[in-house]
Amino acid sequence: MAKRPQDPAHNRRGGGGVTMADVGRLAGVTQVTVSRALSTPSKVSDDTLQRIQEAIRRTGYVPNAVAGALASNKSNLIAALVPSVTNIVYSSMLHAFSEIMWGHGYQIIFSETGFDLDREEKAIATHLSRRPDAMLLTGVRHSQASRRMLANAGIPVVEIWDITDTPIDCCVGFSHVLAGQAAADFAVEAGYEHAVTVTARDERAVRRRDAFATRFGKRTGTSVQHIDFASSASLGLGREALTRLMEAGLPAKAVMFCSSDQFAQGILIEASARGLSVPRDIAVIGFGDQEFAASTQPALTSVRIDRQILGQVAANALVDRFAASSTVSAVHDVGFEIVSRGSA
């Protein structure tokens, strides 16, 4: 009586992964036959294919996608690098992006880079070693080494959340300078005579801050105070920002322009705790128009970017790149909108 081949999976605990050769031994065929069954199953008999599929099921064998990508020059992977996958500003955009890419047969692999160009550079090198078919990056400012790697990779690259005349490949976003200027115009036209900016560590936020301060200063003849934080935005730091302003002396008819709705919400909480009236004693403008902005007390005035549209446009830009469309634009400006509510 023939002895049934032993399941290689039982001998692999701590000893390495199941190989194609293991599948072949269990199925009673050569490794070449297993490879053929995986790549072109029509060239293998039904009986042989069934035995190989059963062996794969029993062993849990997963084909080497990297090797397959090297052979076919296609991995069906999109690498997405964002400052934070938990921040709703990025996660909601990624959801819209992923839905379209999934519909075209692509899987998304994510990495968090914070706002660190060196960390982004390392992540780019790691992802490129896995041969993605395209890459999504946040922002248009990267290290020289990152730009060089991406330029030589020969894959589509979409930069989001910003625009530039010189993208690596294509970019989808809006002008942070214009957003800052528009917020300043809104504040001046609403009658505010003094302004304070509250800004987190993000060069895009700094560009908005500087554009706001320059425009507000020119239109009112007053200097803008800055409260900057070296970390990401949070409710606690928003409360701290208002505390600092109170200690320095709260100017009359003042507005606080924040680089994030989280800062702005923290300011609203601190104002309520101190018995201040918003916007009578201090007005607040956020950025991002997150889901909670309309539900704060008072409702938060904020700069809105349609994150779903941004994600969809970024995905469609890559799909067009894959199709080698001659009509593909390199720069996609999705714009922004100031949503006026009760806080300013």
Tens of pLDDT, residue by residue over 167-207, are 999 999 999 999 999 999 999 999 999 999 999 988 999 99
Q: Which CATH class is domain 73-174+308-335?
A: alpha beta
* Spatial distance between the Cα atoms of 186 and 208, rounded to a whole number of angstroms: 14
Q: How far is CA 34 from CA 24, 50, 322, in A?
A: 6, 11, 31
The residue that leads in pLDDT, 216 or 87, is: 216
Cβ(253)–Cβ(193) under 8 Å? yes
Return the CATH fold of 8-63: 434 Repressor (Amino-terminal Domain) (1.10.260)
* Spatial distance between the Cα atoms of 300 and 264, rounded to a whole number of angstroms: 8
Encoded amino acid at 166, one letter:
T
Which residue reads 């070449």 in tokens? 32
73-174+308-335 has the same fold as 8-63: no
Contacts of 175 (CB under 8 A, 6+ apart): 163, 333
The residue that leads in pLDDT, 34 or 68, is: 34
Nearest to 276 by CA among 266, 264, 268, 285: 268
Task: Give residue limits of the domains in the chain.
Answer: 8-63, 73-174+308-335, 176-304
pTM: 0.80
Q: State the pLDDT at residue 39.
A: 76
The residue that leads in pLDDT, 313 or 17, is: 313
Nearest to 19 by CA among 5, 4, 34, 6: 34
Q: Could you tell me which residues are beta bridge partners of residue 197? A: 226, 257
**Residue 121 confidence class, pLDDT cut points 50, 70, 90:** very high
CATH superfamily for domain 176-304: Response regulator (3.40.50.2300)
* Spatial distance between the Cα atoms of 124 and 264, rounded to a whole number of angstroms: 33
* Spatial distance between the Cα atoms of 62 and 29, rounded to a whole number of angstroms: 18
Question: What SS3 state is found at 39?
Answer: helix
3: pLDDT strictly greater than 70:
no
Q: State the pLDDT at residue 5.
A: 54
Tokens found for residue 125: 């090198």
Q: State the pLDDT at residue 201.
A: 84
Cβ(223)–Cβ(251) under 8 Å? no
Cβ(146)–Cβ(298) under 8 Å? no
Cβ(136)–Cβ(78) under 8 Å? yes
Nearest to 303 by CA among 316, 290, 317, 318: 290
Tokens found for residue 234: 């949070």
